[in-house]
Amino acid sequence: MAVKIFIATDRLDSVLEKLSTKIDLWIPALLKDDKSGPTGFVPYEPGKAVAFDRQTTMSLKKVLLPQVETLLRFEYRKEPEGAINSTLAVEDRREARPTLVFGARPCDVRALTTLDRVFSNGPYVDPYYTERRKNTLFATLVCRQTDAKCFCSSVGGGPADMEGSHLRIVRTDDGYIVEALTKEAQSLLDNLGDAPDASREKQAAEIVEEVSRRRVGDLDTEGSAEAFRKRFEQTDYWVQMVSQCLSCGVCTYVCPTCYCFSITDEAENLKGERLRSWDSCMFYHYTLEASGHNPRPTKLERYRNRVGHKFSYIPERYEGLLGCCGCGRCIRSCPVSIDIRQVVGHLKENTNE
């Protein structure tokens, strides 16, 4: 069984095509015909070019947590006798197919540890997420495209971090070396290519070694949970940090660790579906109560929640785990350049002022 193969750059597409016959394959790709345009994960199609040159605009969370999914279908059936009586038929069939995400980044895969705690590790197990999660493998790039917005090493990860990954991809001068890190991933590499020669193997080892030493980002999150609590009621702090926020859904939708969702029944006549869709704590309706009262009436309370959830509530609840993987997407895509590192970083400064 192959554990490590070399794929020459110009053979990548044919290898992916072969791979896609073994397993459902997702790849990072351009979403627009513009090499610097927005990118995201899409199901593989022959000829579709992978966008390996930078982190994707949208994270891979949608592979496990689609923006919209049908939880169940329902139908009211009228009894022939007496139109008043009806029965309710419910169908909640779901299917999780073996899937491989080829070209994930370490930050994205690490983000799943947060999602796992919420959806899979009890006390409530979400079968939709959990079944997909069990059936999905990740082939992760050793990341060499760090930019000024990345801070994965500050939050427990790193650009060569392979925790949670099943295969490691190292991009060398003339191709890719793909190595199985788990037993279940080994068979995927069968008949896809030859083992790398010694010089390529050496280059790959050097790259891994060099990237592993990099420390990306310098945010210090130590003590932020408590600092956040102290800041909670200091309105001035939030006014100062996020008055420019537009309360849009960009940061939460691009974020790989934001998982909040809404459930709606959408029916026409007697038939309908129960949908689960992404929600955002930056939206007004997120906390709107039936009475009309909204405990988070403005963007200040909403943004405060986003920071608090990631850097205070989650760590307090889950033994220090952070709700942020440091991918920097929210910083990169925010239309008014809000930098979560700054907001978190300043929490601890002169908390008593």
Partner 1 sequence: MLETDRIQLHKLVEEALPELDMMIGWTESCDPLQTTPVFIRDAKLISKLTLGPFCSQNLAGYLVKPPALESVPKDAKPIGICVKGCDSRSLVALIQEKFISRDRVRIFGIPCRGTIDWRKVAQRVGLSDVKSATVEDDFLVIDASGTTHRIGLEDVLARKCLGCRYPNPIIQDVLVGQVATPRSSSLETTYRDVDALDNKPIEERLAFWQSELDRCIRCYACRNACPLCVCQDKCIAETREPRWLTQRVGLPEKFLFHFIHAMHLAGRCTGCGECERVCPMDIPVTLIKEKLNKIMEEMLGYSAGLDPDGVPPLLTFNPGETEI
The single residue listed with the structure tokens 């020459």 is: 8
- Going across the sheet that includes 261-268, the strands are 86-91, 68-78, 271-278, 261-268
Q: Which is nearer to ligand SF4, 214 or 332 (CB)?
A: 332
Strands 99-104 and 24-30: parallel
Q: Is 325 in the site for ligand SF4 (CB under 6 A)?
A: yes
Q: Is 336 in the site for ligand SF4 (CB under 6 A)?
A: yes
Choose the contact partner of 330 out of partner 1, ligand SF4, none; CB within 5 to 8 A by kind. Answer: ligand SF4
Where in 2-51 does DSSP place strands (E)? 4-8, 24-30, 39-43
Q: Which is nearer to partner 1, 100 or 254 (CB)?
A: 254
- To partner 1, the closest distance from the beta carbon of 298 in angstroms equals 4
Among 16, 143, 225, 245, binds ligand SF4 (CB under 6 A): 245
Q: At what angle do helices 106-119 and 127-134 cross, to 10 degrees?
A: 140
Among 310, 311, 315, 347, binds ligand SF4 (CB under 6 A): 310
Backbone angles phi, psi at 314, to 5 degrees: -65, -50
Q: Is 42 in the site for ligand SF4 (CB under 6 A)?
A: no
- To ligand SF4, the closest distance from the beta carbon of 42 in angstroms equals 16
Residue at 189: amino acid letter: L
The single residue listed with the structure tokens 């440091």 is: 326
Choose the contact partner of 272 out of partner 1, ligand SF4, none; CB within 5 to 8 A by kind. Answer: none
Choose the contact partner of 327 out of ligand SF4, partner 1, none; CB within 5 to 8 A by kind. Answer: ligand SF4
Strands 99-104 and 136-141: parallel
Task: Specify whether the CB–CB gap between 293 and 285 falls below 8 A.
Answer: no
Choose the contact partner of 35 out of partner 1, ligand SF4, none; CB within 5 to 8 A by kind. Answer: partner 1
Choose the contact partner of 253 out of partner 1, ligand SF4, none; CB within 5 to 8 A by kind. Answer: partner 1
Using the contact rule CB under 6 A, the part of the chain among 15-23, 33-41, 45-53, 244-252 near ligand SF4 is: 244-252
Contacts 24+ apart (CB under 8 A), 262-266: 263/71, 265/74
Choose the contact partner of 339 out of ligand SF4, partner 1, none; CB within 5 to 8 A by kind. Answer: partner 1
Binding mask 86-125 for ligand SF4 (x = CB under 6 A): -------------------------x--------------
Q: Which is nearer to ligand SF4, 130 or 247 (CB)?
A: 247
Q: How many residues bind ligand SF4 (CB under 6 A)?
A: 25
Task: Specify whether the CB–CB gap between 95 and 136 falls below 8 A.
Answer: no
List C-alpha distances in Å: 22 to 27, 100, 190.
Answer: 15, 10, 10
Q: How far apart are the first and last CA of the chain?
A: 63
Q: Is 282 in the site for ligand SF4 (CB under 6 A)?
A: yes
Residue at 174: amino acid letter: D
